[in-house]
Amino acid sequence: MSLIIKGGTVVTADSETRADVYVEGETIRAIGLDLDVPGGTRVIDAGGCYVMPGGIDPHTHMELPFMGTTASEDFFTGTSAAAAGGTTMIIDFAIPNPGQSLLEAWHAWRGWAEKSASDYSLHVAVTWWDDTVHAEMKTLCEEHGVNSFKHFMAYKGAIMADDEVLVNSFTRAAELGALCTVHAENGELVFQLQKRIFEMGIHGPEGHPLSRPPEVEGEAANRAIRIAEVLGTPLYLVHTSCKDALEAITRARLEGQRVFGEVLAQHLVIDDSVYRDPDWNTAAHHVMSPPFRSKEHQEALWRGLAAGMLQTTATDHCCFCTPQKQAGLDDFRKIPNGTGGVEDRMAVLWHHGVNTGRLTPSEFVAVTSTNCARIFNLYPKKGAVAVGADADLVVWDPQGTRTISKDTHHQNIDFNIYEGMTVQGVPAITLSRGRVLWADGQLHTERGTGRYVDRPCAAPYWGAIRKTNARRAPTPVQRKR
């Protein structure tokens, strides 16, 4: 099957060009004007629109078992909602319980993800340590296309990685040429502050942000960065939510350390006033970690994103419906942490980023797709409008508008954190490897058409670990007896 996307402006991370895009089967075959295409080629009219790489969301948790329940969005409904929003690939997480085989967890998540409607890959979390973890990290890298290992520095008593796990895992990842990623919050501080806040009689969702202030994230971000620096491991900080963590990333990057930062779309536009909403359910639906911050942090995050100190945007899509959130009715510590957003990320970033002048269309492509593809070694198969790349494309209508609502979204959750937000700039058509998943305001997704995407180690984008490699190997002092 062949199709040509005609009349659009192709936007890549580097340029904007008036050009048509010809797709044969699953692959982009030609880009240019006056292309000579076979008879019977399907024509997609992109007049007045941009043609961009499909979004890649490097941080989702479809059907995650967590805090005594399971996230309500599964891999089919989640990748379908993603397509409705212009995102054509997700990177989710296989998260073993402490003591559980990493390989076993990876296989379990692979099974759940089979139903995906678009392509996916899996980070693997290191939640404990012994020789089997050391061995399985190598197997995952060499035989299962894993090049990134996640470490939760929060969630004490559950999946928290302490310094011993961090040092062992970062060391192993450096040997394997893999990237380490961290959820940077000091889990011990959170645990103690939660207890202290609860004992002060604060039991509602307003207690959540009080127990994890920006300093708690800043400390962990800096600690992870310093450990990675000493061990020579490239590091990626997920959901950077505050100035404290951004400053740690900026310092490291300016000193030549290979550190990457991710910011969630929601942390850029929603502030912590949500936790004082008089409606318990509304406040609880915003309980996620790190929490929403005061407005000053948002402007700093926008500047960090535009300045290239933060490279990717994500959603941490981890949905819990109202009855699930109500597990914490009497104790905010029991509210399952997570929000939705996989469908809204691109439009929210275009409206608040491009329409305001904070981001150019090319920078938008970089932070929603291309940078992620380069960091996780998917480029140029993914994250590119280039001959030979997968035809993961979005025809973006900069004039189209949408008012975001739980009543009209395609996400399997009974709440939307962007409820009532009207955005200008929406996906008109979304294609995954040449297959139309979204058009005319309708989903055309099918269970199981998504594929697992291998991510080889030693991504060229990580480059030499400049600062650490500069350290000379220590030598013993020769002493006379």
77 contact, one of ligand URQ, Zn ion, none, CB 5-8 Å limit per kind: none
> Which 338-367 positions form the footprint of ligand URQ (CB under 6 A)?
338
CB-based contact 88:113 (threshold 8 Å): no
Distance between CA atoms of 144 and 439, rounded to whole angstroms?
A: 34
> Which 293-332 positions form the footprint of ligand URQ (CB under 6 A)?
316, 318
User: Which stretch, 22-30, 183-191, 264-272, 394-402, contacts Zn ion (CB under 5 A)?
Assistant: 183-191
Our CB check for ligand URQ shows the closer of 49 and 125 to be 125
Our CB check for Zn ion shows the closer of 136 and 316 to be 316
CB of 127 to ligand URQ, least distance (A): 12
* First-last CA distance in the chain: 80
Residues with Cβ within 8 Å of 291's Cβ and at least 6 positions away in sequence, in order, are 208, 209, 212, 241, 272, 275
Our CB check for ligand URQ shows the closer of 29 and 334 to be 334
Instruction: Give the residue among 223, 228, 258 at the shortest CA–CA distance from 244.
Output: 223
66 contact, one of ligand URQ, Zn ion, none, CB 5-8 Å limit per kind: ligand URQ
Handedness of CA 110, 456, 161, 188 (dihedral sign): negative
Q: Which residue is nearest to ligand URQ (CB)?
A: 337
What does the H/E/C string look like for 347-409? HHHHHHHHCCCCCCHHHHHHHHHHHHHHHCCCCCCCCCCCCCCECCEEEEEEEEEEECCCCCC
Q: Is 344 in the site for Zn ion (CB under 5 A)?
A: no
Q: Is 151 in the site for ligand URQ (CB under 6 A)?
A: no
> Which 14-73 positions form the footprint of ligand URQ (CB under 6 A)?
61, 66
Our CB check for Zn ion shows the closer of 115 and 183 to be 183
Q: Is 212 in the site for Zn ion (CB under 5 A)?
A: no
CB of 354 to ligand URQ, least distance (A): 26
Q: Is 289 in the site for ligand URQ (CB under 6 A)?
A: yes
User: Which stretch, 72-80, 308-316, 424-432, 468-476, contacts Zn ion (CB under 5 A)?
Assistant: 308-316
What SS3 state is found at 131?
helix
Interface with Zn ion (CB under 5 A), residue from 217, 316, 363, 414: 316
Interface with Zn ion (CB under 5 A), residue from 123, 172, 183, 382: 183
Our CB check for ligand URQ shows the closer of 116 and 339 to be 339
Give me the half-sphere count of Cα atoms (radius 13 Å) on the Cβ side of residue 178.
28
Q: Is 183 in the site for ligand URQ (CB under 6 A)?
A: yes
CB of 107 to Zn ion, least distance (A): 21
Helix runs in 42-147, H state only: 75-84, 102-113, 131-143
Helix (H) or strand (E) holding 281: helix 280-284
Distance between CA atoms of 475 and 481, rounded to whole angstroms?
A: 18
Q: Is 144 in the site for ligand URQ (CB under 6 A)?
A: no
- How are strands ordered across the β-sheet holding 16-18? 16-18, 9-11, 50-53, 393-403, 422-432, 435-439, 442-443
Residues that bind ligand URQ (CB under 6 A): 61, 66, 183, 288-289, 316, 318, 337-338
Q: Which residues bind Zn ion (CB under 5 A)?
A: 183, 316
